[in-house]
Structure 1
Amino acid sequence: MSDVSAQPTDAARQENVGKILDAAERLFKHYGYAKTNVADIARELSMSPANIYRFFSSKAEIHQALARRMLNAQYEVVKENASGGGSAEERLKSHLLLVHRITVETMLEEERVHEMVLVALDQQWPVIEEHLSRMRALVADLIRDGIRSGEFREQDPSLAAECFLCCGVSLCHPQLVAKKIAYDEAITPDILADFVIKALK
Protein backbone atom coordinates (compact mmCIF):
# COMPACT_ATOMS: atom_id res chain seq x y z
CA MET A 1 0.00 0.00 0.00
CA SER A 2 1.39 3.39 -1.02
CA ASP A 3 2.25 6.00 1.56
CA VAL A 4 -0.41 8.65 0.88
CA SER A 5 1.04 10.96 3.50
CA ALA A 6 4.21 11.23 1.38
CA GLN A 7 2.21 12.75 -1.45
CA PRO A 8 1.78 16.53 -1.18
CA THR A 9 -1.74 17.93 -1.01
CA ASP A 10 -2.82 20.30 -3.78
CA ALA A 11 -2.18 23.32 -1.57
CA ALA A 12 1.23 22.04 -0.48
CA ARG A 13 2.10 21.16 -4.05
CA GLN A 14 1.24 24.66 -5.28
CA GLU A 15 3.29 26.16 -2.46
CA ASN A 16 6.31 24.02 -3.36
CA VAL A 17 5.94 24.75 -7.07
CA GLY A 18 5.84 28.46 -6.27
CA LYS A 19 9.00 28.23 -4.15
CA ILE A 20 10.83 26.32 -6.87
CA LEU A 21 9.82 28.85 -9.52
CA ASP A 22 10.80 31.76 -7.29
CA ALA A 23 14.24 30.21 -6.67
CA ALA A 24 14.68 29.39 -10.36
CA GLU A 25 13.79 32.95 -11.34
CA ARG A 26 16.31 34.40 -8.89
CA LEU A 27 19.08 32.14 -10.18
CA PHE A 28 18.20 32.59 -13.85
CA LYS A 29 18.26 36.37 -13.42
CA HIS A 30 21.57 36.28 -11.55
CA TYR A 31 23.56 33.61 -13.40
CA GLY A 32 21.61 33.16 -16.62
CA TYR A 33 19.46 30.30 -17.87
CA ALA A 34 22.31 28.30 -19.44
CA LYS A 35 24.49 28.42 -16.31
CA THR A 36 21.76 27.34 -13.90
CA ASN A 37 20.83 23.69 -13.41
CA VAL A 38 18.39 21.74 -11.23
CA ALA A 39 21.09 21.07 -8.62
CA ASP A 40 21.62 24.83 -8.24
CA ILE A 41 17.89 25.37 -7.71
CA ALA A 42 17.79 22.55 -5.14
CA ARG A 43 20.78 24.01 -3.31
CA GLU A 44 19.11 27.43 -3.23
CA LEU A 45 16.13 25.81 -1.48
CA SER A 46 18.21 23.53 0.77
CA MET A 47 16.64 20.42 -0.69
CA SER A 48 17.77 17.52 -2.86
CA PRO A 49 17.47 17.53 -6.67
CA ALA A 50 15.24 14.46 -6.30
CA ASN A 51 12.73 16.62 -4.45
CA ILE A 52 12.67 19.10 -7.35
CA TYR A 53 11.97 16.23 -9.74
CA ARG A 54 8.84 15.40 -7.75
CA PHE A 55 7.35 18.57 -9.21
CA PHE A 56 9.22 19.12 -12.49
CA SER A 57 10.71 16.53 -14.83
CA SER A 58 13.50 18.79 -16.12
CA LYS A 59 15.00 22.27 -16.12
CA ALA A 60 13.17 22.92 -19.39
CA GLU A 61 9.86 22.19 -17.67
CA ILE A 62 10.75 24.64 -14.89
CA HIS A 63 11.61 27.22 -17.53
CA GLN A 64 8.31 26.71 -19.32
CA ALA A 65 6.38 27.09 -16.07
CA LEU A 66 8.34 30.24 -15.26
CA ALA A 67 7.73 31.64 -18.74
CA ARG A 68 4.03 30.87 -18.40
CA ARG A 69 3.87 32.67 -15.05
CA MET A 70 5.66 35.71 -16.46
CA LEU A 71 3.50 35.84 -19.60
CA ASN A 72 0.32 35.37 -17.54
CA ALA A 73 1.29 38.41 -15.47
CA GLN A 74 1.94 40.39 -18.66
CA TYR A 75 -1.39 39.30 -20.14
CA GLU A 76 -3.32 40.43 -17.05
CA VAL A 77 -1.76 43.89 -17.36
CA VAL A 78 -2.64 44.31 -21.05
CA LYS A 79 -6.10 42.79 -20.51
CA GLU A 80 -6.87 45.36 -17.82
CA ASN A 81 -5.58 48.11 -20.11
CA ALA A 82 -7.76 46.90 -23.00
CA SER A 83 -10.89 46.95 -20.85
CA GLY A 84 -10.26 50.52 -19.71
CA GLY A 85 -11.98 53.68 -20.89
CA GLY A 86 -11.55 55.47 -24.19
CA SER A 87 -12.32 54.67 -27.80
CA ALA A 88 -11.32 51.41 -29.46
CA GLU A 89 -8.64 53.29 -31.40
CA GLU A 90 -7.19 54.78 -28.20
CA ARG A 91 -7.19 51.42 -26.44
CA LEU A 92 -5.64 49.65 -29.44
CA LYS A 93 -2.82 52.18 -29.65
CA SER A 94 -2.36 52.05 -25.89
CA HIS A 95 -2.17 48.26 -26.11
CA LEU A 96 0.65 48.32 -28.64
CA LEU A 97 2.63 50.96 -26.74
CA LEU A 98 2.13 49.11 -23.45
CA VAL A 99 3.39 45.81 -24.89
CA HIS A 100 6.40 47.64 -26.28
CA ARG A 101 7.15 49.22 -22.90
CA ILE A 102 6.83 45.86 -21.13
CA THR A 103 9.21 44.31 -23.65
CA VAL A 104 11.79 47.02 -23.10
CA GLU A 105 11.49 47.02 -19.30
CA THR A 106 11.30 43.31 -18.52
CA MET A 107 13.12 41.68 -21.41
CA LEU A 108 15.85 44.13 -22.38
CA GLU A 109 16.71 45.99 -19.20
CA GLU A 110 16.89 42.60 -17.44
CA GLU A 111 19.41 40.81 -19.67
CA ARG A 112 18.95 37.39 -18.06
CA VAL A 113 15.16 37.50 -18.56
CA HIS A 114 15.83 38.39 -22.19
CA GLU A 115 17.97 35.24 -22.47
CA MET A 116 15.18 33.09 -21.04
CA VAL A 117 12.64 34.47 -23.51
CA LEU A 118 14.97 33.93 -26.47
CA VAL A 119 15.42 30.27 -25.50
CA ALA A 120 11.63 29.85 -25.36
CA LEU A 121 11.20 31.54 -28.76
CA ASP A 122 14.04 29.60 -30.38
CA GLN A 123 12.71 26.24 -29.18
CA GLN A 124 9.12 27.20 -30.03
CA TRP A 125 7.69 26.15 -26.71
CA PRO A 126 3.88 25.82 -26.54
CA VAL A 127 3.70 28.48 -23.82
CA ILE A 128 4.70 31.13 -26.40
CA GLU A 129 1.95 30.13 -28.82
CA GLU A 130 -0.56 30.03 -25.97
CA HIS A 131 0.36 33.61 -25.10
CA LEU A 132 0.19 34.77 -28.73
CA SER A 133 -3.25 33.17 -29.16
CA ARG A 134 -4.59 35.11 -26.18
CA MET A 135 -3.04 38.32 -27.47
CA ARG A 136 -4.64 37.77 -30.90
CA ALA A 137 -8.04 37.28 -29.28
CA LEU A 138 -7.59 40.42 -27.17
CA VAL A 139 -6.69 42.54 -30.21
CA ALA A 140 -9.55 41.01 -32.23
CA ASP A 141 -11.99 42.06 -29.49
CA LEU A 142 -10.65 45.63 -29.59
CA ILE A 143 -11.01 45.73 -33.37
CA ARG A 144 -14.53 44.27 -33.07
CA ASP A 145 -15.40 47.09 -30.66
CA GLY A 146 -14.05 49.61 -33.18
CA ILE A 147 -16.14 48.12 -35.99
CA ARG A 148 -19.28 48.27 -33.86
CA SER A 149 -18.63 51.90 -32.91
CA GLY A 150 -17.94 52.90 -36.51
CA GLU A 151 -14.28 53.76 -35.86
CA PHE A 152 -13.04 50.98 -38.14
CA ARG A 153 -14.40 49.73 -41.46
CA GLU A 154 -16.25 46.42 -41.77
CA GLN A 155 -13.72 43.55 -41.85
CA ASP A 156 -12.88 40.18 -40.34
CA PRO A 157 -11.70 41.04 -36.79
CA SER A 158 -9.60 37.87 -36.46
CA LEU A 159 -7.78 38.42 -39.76
CA ALA A 160 -7.33 42.12 -38.95
CA ALA A 161 -5.87 41.20 -35.54
CA GLU A 162 -3.38 38.84 -37.19
CA CYS A 163 -2.31 41.59 -39.62
CA PHE A 164 -2.12 44.13 -36.79
CA LEU A 165 0.18 41.91 -34.74
CA CYS A 166 2.37 41.10 -37.76
CA CYS A 167 2.81 44.82 -38.45
CA GLY A 168 3.50 45.58 -34.80
CA VAL A 169 5.93 42.70 -34.21
CA SER A 170 8.94 45.06 -34.29
CA LEU A 171 7.57 46.68 -31.13
CA CYS A 172 7.20 43.49 -29.10
CA HIS A 173 9.66 40.85 -30.33
CA PRO A 174 12.70 41.07 -28.01
CA GLN A 175 15.32 40.70 -30.73
CA LEU A 176 13.66 43.22 -33.05
CA VAL A 177 13.15 45.70 -30.22
CA ALA A 178 16.80 45.37 -29.23
CA LYS A 179 17.89 46.02 -32.82
CA LYS A 180 15.56 48.99 -33.11
CA ILE A 181 16.98 50.55 -29.95
CA ALA A 182 20.58 49.84 -30.97
CA TYR A 183 20.21 51.59 -34.31
CA ASP A 184 18.04 54.42 -32.95
CA GLU A 185 15.62 54.20 -35.85
CA ALA A 186 13.53 57.23 -36.73
CA ILE A 187 10.24 55.32 -36.68
CA THR A 188 8.97 55.65 -33.12
CA PRO A 189 6.42 53.31 -31.51
CA ASP A 190 3.81 56.12 -31.71
CA ILE A 191 4.34 56.61 -35.44
CA LEU A 192 4.13 52.88 -36.18
CA ALA A 193 1.03 52.44 -34.00
CA ASP A 194 -0.76 55.32 -35.79
CA PHE A 195 0.22 53.91 -39.20
CA VAL A 196 -1.10 50.42 -38.42
CA ILE A 197 -4.37 51.75 -36.96
CA LYS A 198 -5.01 53.80 -40.12
CA ALA A 199 -5.16 50.54 -42.07
CA LEU A 200 -8.19 49.52 -39.99
CA LYS A 201 -10.18 52.60 -40.96
Structure 2
Amino acid sequence: MNVMDPHSATRARIADAAEALFRQIGYQKTSVADIAKACAMSPANVYRFYPSKSAINEAITHRLLDTIGTELEALAAGPGTPAERMRATAAHLFRRDVELFFAEKRMHDMVGAAMTEHWGVIEGFIARVLAVWEGLLREGMASGAFRALDPAATAMSFKQCLLLWTHPILLEDCLGRGETPEGLGQQQQAALDLLLAGVARN
Protein backbone atom coordinates (compact mmCIF):
# COMPACT_ATOMS: atom_id res chain seq x y z
CA MET A 1 0.00 0.00 0.00
CA ASN A 2 1.43 3.39 -1.06
CA VAL A 3 1.25 6.03 1.65
CA MET A 4 1.38 9.64 0.47
CA ASP A 5 4.00 11.83 2.15
CA PRO A 6 2.62 14.78 4.19
CA HIS A 7 3.57 17.36 1.54
CA SER A 8 1.87 15.45 -1.26
CA ALA A 9 -1.15 14.72 0.94
CA THR A 10 -1.62 18.42 1.66
CA ARG A 11 -1.23 19.31 -2.01
CA ALA A 12 -3.88 16.72 -2.85
CA ARG A 13 -6.22 18.12 -0.15
CA ILE A 14 -5.83 21.63 -1.54
CA ALA A 15 -6.45 20.36 -5.08
CA ASP A 16 -9.56 18.45 -3.93
CA ALA A 17 -10.96 21.59 -2.31
CA ALA A 18 -10.13 23.72 -5.35
CA GLU A 19 -11.72 21.25 -7.76
CA ALA A 20 -14.92 21.13 -5.69
CA LEU A 21 -15.11 24.94 -5.72
CA PHE A 22 -14.31 25.11 -9.45
CA ARG A 23 -17.22 22.78 -10.12
CA GLN A 24 -19.54 24.79 -7.88
CA ILE A 25 -18.75 28.39 -8.81
CA GLY A 26 -16.14 28.22 -11.59
CA TYR A 27 -12.37 28.59 -11.57
CA GLN A 28 -12.45 32.34 -12.26
CA LYS A 29 -14.70 33.15 -9.29
CA THR A 30 -12.76 30.90 -6.92
CA SER A 31 -10.07 32.75 -4.97
CA VAL A 32 -7.11 31.37 -3.09
CA ALA A 33 -8.85 32.64 0.06
CA ASP A 34 -11.88 30.47 -0.80
CA ILE A 35 -9.66 27.42 -1.24
CA ALA A 36 -7.80 28.15 1.98
CA LYS A 37 -11.07 28.49 3.90
CA ALA A 38 -12.31 25.15 2.54
CA CYS A 39 -9.05 23.57 3.74
CA ALA A 40 -9.16 25.33 7.15
CA MET A 41 -5.80 26.98 6.51
CA SER A 42 -4.48 30.42 5.66
CA PRO A 43 -3.92 31.63 2.07
CA ALA A 44 -0.23 31.94 2.94
CA ASN A 45 -0.18 28.24 3.75
CA VAL A 46 -1.80 27.40 0.41
CA TYR A 47 1.00 29.32 -1.31
CA ARG A 48 3.53 27.07 0.41
CA PHE A 49 2.22 24.21 -1.73
CA TYR A 50 1.16 26.07 -4.89
CA PRO A 51 3.10 29.19 -5.91
CA SER A 52 0.07 30.86 -7.54
CA LYS A 53 -3.61 30.54 -8.35
CA SER A 54 -2.53 29.69 -11.90
CA ALA A 55 -0.59 26.70 -10.58
CA ILE A 56 -3.77 25.43 -8.88
CA ASN A 57 -5.75 25.96 -12.10
CA GLU A 58 -3.18 23.92 -14.03
CA ALA A 59 -3.16 21.15 -11.43
CA ILE A 60 -6.95 20.73 -11.68
CA THR A 61 -6.84 20.85 -15.48
CA HIS A 62 -4.09 18.22 -15.42
CA ARG A 63 -6.27 15.96 -13.25
CA LEU A 64 -9.14 16.18 -15.71
CA LEU A 65 -7.05 15.72 -18.84
CA ASP A 66 -5.00 12.93 -17.29
CA THR A 67 -8.19 10.91 -16.85
CA ILE A 68 -9.12 11.45 -20.50
CA GLY A 69 -5.59 10.61 -21.62
CA THR A 70 -5.72 7.33 -19.73
CA GLU A 71 -9.05 6.50 -21.38
CA LEU A 72 -7.60 7.20 -24.83
CA GLU A 73 -4.58 5.00 -24.17
CA ALA A 74 -6.86 2.18 -23.03
CA LEU A 75 -8.90 2.45 -26.24
CA ALA A 76 -5.72 2.52 -28.32
CA ALA A 77 -4.50 -0.67 -26.61
CA GLY A 78 -7.87 -2.42 -26.95
CA PRO A 79 -9.35 -4.66 -29.63
CA GLY A 80 -9.95 -3.72 -33.24
CA THR A 81 -7.90 -2.69 -36.23
CA PRO A 82 -5.67 0.38 -36.03
CA ALA A 83 -8.22 2.28 -38.13
CA GLU A 84 -11.05 1.28 -35.81
CA ARG A 85 -9.06 2.39 -32.80
CA MET A 86 -8.09 5.69 -34.45
CA ARG A 87 -11.80 6.28 -35.02
CA ALA A 88 -12.67 5.24 -31.45
CA THR A 89 -10.13 7.54 -29.83
CA ALA A 90 -11.17 10.54 -31.94
CA ALA A 91 -14.85 9.90 -31.19
CA HIS A 92 -14.07 9.56 -27.49
CA LEU A 93 -12.33 12.94 -27.40
CA PHE A 94 -15.38 14.55 -28.97
CA ARG A 95 -17.78 12.71 -26.65
CA ARG A 96 -15.87 13.78 -23.54
CA ASP A 97 -15.88 17.41 -24.74
CA VAL A 98 -19.66 17.28 -25.21
CA GLU A 99 -20.12 15.70 -21.78
CA LEU A 100 -18.08 18.48 -20.19
CA PHE A 101 -20.08 21.16 -22.00
CA PHE A 102 -23.47 19.87 -20.87
CA ALA A 103 -22.68 18.28 -17.50
CA GLU A 104 -19.64 20.23 -16.25
CA LYS A 105 -19.85 23.62 -18.00
CA ARG A 106 -17.56 25.32 -15.48
CA MET A 107 -14.87 22.69 -16.04
CA HIS A 108 -15.42 22.96 -19.79
CA ASP A 109 -14.80 26.72 -19.54
CA MET A 110 -11.56 26.10 -17.65
CA VAL A 111 -10.24 23.69 -20.28
CA GLY A 112 -11.26 26.14 -22.99
CA ALA A 113 -9.31 28.92 -21.25
CA ALA A 114 -6.35 26.58 -20.84
CA MET A 115 -6.28 25.94 -24.58
CA THR A 116 -6.87 29.57 -25.58
CA GLU A 117 -4.29 30.93 -23.14
CA HIS A 118 -1.78 28.13 -23.87
CA TRP A 119 -1.42 26.79 -20.35
CA GLY A 120 1.54 24.42 -20.12
CA VAL A 121 -0.63 21.47 -19.14
CA ILE A 122 -2.34 21.60 -22.55
CA GLU A 123 0.93 20.98 -24.37
CA GLY A 124 1.43 17.79 -22.39
CA PHE A 125 -2.08 16.56 -23.15
CA ILE A 126 -1.77 17.29 -26.87
CA ALA A 127 1.55 15.43 -26.92
CA ARG A 128 -0.19 12.48 -25.28
CA VAL A 129 -2.98 12.45 -27.89
CA LEU A 130 -0.44 12.71 -30.71
CA ALA A 131 1.54 9.81 -29.22
CA VAL A 132 -1.60 7.66 -29.19
CA TRP A 133 -2.33 8.41 -32.84
CA GLU A 134 1.28 8.09 -33.92
CA GLY A 135 1.45 4.67 -32.26
CA LEU A 136 -1.70 3.50 -34.05
CA LEU A 137 -0.42 4.82 -37.37
CA ARG A 138 2.87 2.97 -36.89
CA GLU A 139 0.96 -0.19 -36.06
CA GLY A 140 -1.20 0.17 -39.15
CA MET A 141 1.84 0.75 -41.35
CA ALA A 142 3.65 -2.24 -39.89
CA SER A 143 0.65 -4.48 -40.56
CA GLY A 144 0.24 -3.20 -44.12
CA ALA A 145 -3.17 -1.64 -43.43
CA PHE A 146 -1.79 1.89 -43.84
CA ARG A 147 0.58 3.12 -46.50
CA ALA A 148 4.06 4.31 -45.61
CA LEU A 149 3.90 7.85 -44.24
CA ASP A 150 5.65 9.94 -41.61
CA PRO A 151 3.73 8.79 -38.49
CA ALA A 152 4.42 11.92 -36.43
CA ALA A 153 3.51 14.32 -39.23
CA THR A 154 0.39 12.30 -40.09
CA ALA A 155 -0.72 12.27 -36.45
CA MET A 156 -0.36 16.05 -36.41
CA SER A 157 -2.45 16.28 -39.59
CA PHE A 158 -5.17 14.21 -37.93
CA LYS A 159 -5.08 16.57 -34.96
CA GLN A 160 -5.36 19.67 -37.13
CA CYS A 161 -8.18 18.23 -39.26
CA LEU A 162 -10.17 17.13 -36.19
CA LEU A 163 -9.72 20.36 -34.23
CA LEU A 164 -13.39 21.34 -34.57
CA TRP A 165 -14.40 18.28 -32.53
CA THR A 166 -11.69 18.54 -29.88
CA HIS A 167 -11.39 22.25 -29.05
CA PRO A 168 -13.86 23.38 -26.34
CA ILE A 169 -14.24 26.90 -27.73
CA LEU A 170 -14.95 25.69 -31.28
CA LEU A 171 -17.43 23.14 -29.96
CA GLU A 172 -19.21 25.79 -27.87
CA ASP A 173 -19.46 28.04 -30.92
CA CYS A 174 -21.02 25.25 -33.00
CA LEU A 175 -23.53 24.31 -30.30
CA GLY A 176 -24.37 28.00 -29.81
CA ARG A 177 -25.25 28.28 -33.50
CA GLY A 178 -27.79 25.47 -33.33
CA GLU A 179 -25.65 22.44 -34.18
CA THR A 180 -26.51 19.29 -32.22
CA PRO A 181 -24.08 16.79 -30.69
CA GLU A 182 -25.58 14.11 -32.92
CA GLY A 183 -25.09 16.18 -36.05
CA LEU A 184 -21.55 17.13 -35.09
CA GLY A 185 -20.78 13.49 -34.34
CA GLN A 186 -21.96 12.48 -37.80
CA GLN A 187 -19.80 15.21 -39.33
CA GLN A 188 -16.79 13.95 -37.39
CA GLN A 189 -17.36 10.42 -38.64
CA ALA A 190 -17.50 11.73 -42.23
CA ALA A 191 -14.21 13.57 -41.67
CA LEU A 192 -12.68 10.41 -40.22
CA ASP A 193 -13.85 8.45 -43.27
CA LEU A 194 -11.82 10.83 -45.46
CA LEU A 195 -8.77 10.86 -43.20
CA LEU A 196 -8.62 7.10 -42.80
CA ALA A 197 -9.19 6.57 -46.54
CA GLY A 198 -6.24 8.89 -47.12
CA VAL A 199 -3.85 6.71 -45.07
CA ALA A 200 -5.22 3.33 -46.13
CA ARG A 201 -3.12 1.15 -48.41
CA ASN A 202 -4.96 0.74 -51.72
TM-score normalised over the length of structure 2 = 0.90
**5+ long unaligned stretches in structure 1:** 1-8
The alignment status of 1:199 with 2:181, answered yes or no, reads no
The alignment status of 1:160 with 2:159, answered yes or no, reads no
| Pairwise CA distance, 1:62 | 0.4
Q: Which residue in 1 is equivalent to 2:6?
A: 12
One-letter amino acid of the counterpart of residue 45, structure 1 = C
Q: Which residue in 2 is equivalent to 1:4?
A: none
Secondary structure of 2:41 counterpart: coil
- Partner Cα distance (2:143, 2:64) in 1: 34
Q: Which residue in 1 is equivalent to 2:137?
A: 143
The alignment status of 1:173 with 2:172, answered yes or no, reads no
| Pairwise CA distance, 1:116 | 1.0
**Superposition map of 1:175-190 within 5 A:** 175-182=169-176, 183-184=178-179, 188=186, 189-190=188-189
| Pairwise CA distance, 1:108 | 4.4
| Pairwise CA distance, 1:192 | 2.0
| Pairwise CA distance, 1:151 | 1.4
Q: Which residue in 2 is equivalent to 1:89?
A: 83
One-letter amino acid of the counterpart of residue 170, structure 2 = L
TM-score normalised over the length of structure 1 = 0.90
- Partner Cα distance (1:150, 1:192) in 2: 22
Secondary structure of 2:63 counterpart: helix
Tell me which structure has the larger Cα radius of gyration: 1
State the percentage of identical aligned residues.
34
Work out whether residues 107 and 117 of structure 1, in 8 Å CA contact, stay in contact via their aligned partners in 2: no
Work out whether residues 82 and 136 of structure 2, in 8 Å CA contact, stay in contact via their aligned partners in 1: yes
One-letter amino acid of the counterpart of residue 198, structure 1 = A
- Partner Cα distance (1:80, 1:109) in 2: 23
Work out whether residues 75 and 89 of structure 2, in 8 Å CA contact, stay in contact via their aligned partners in 1: yes
Work out whether residues 112 and 167 of structure 2, in 8 Å CA contact, stay in contact via their aligned partners in 1: no
| Pairwise CA distance, 1:102 | 0.9
How big is the alpha-carbon RMSD for the aligned residues of Structure 1 and Structure 2? 1.7
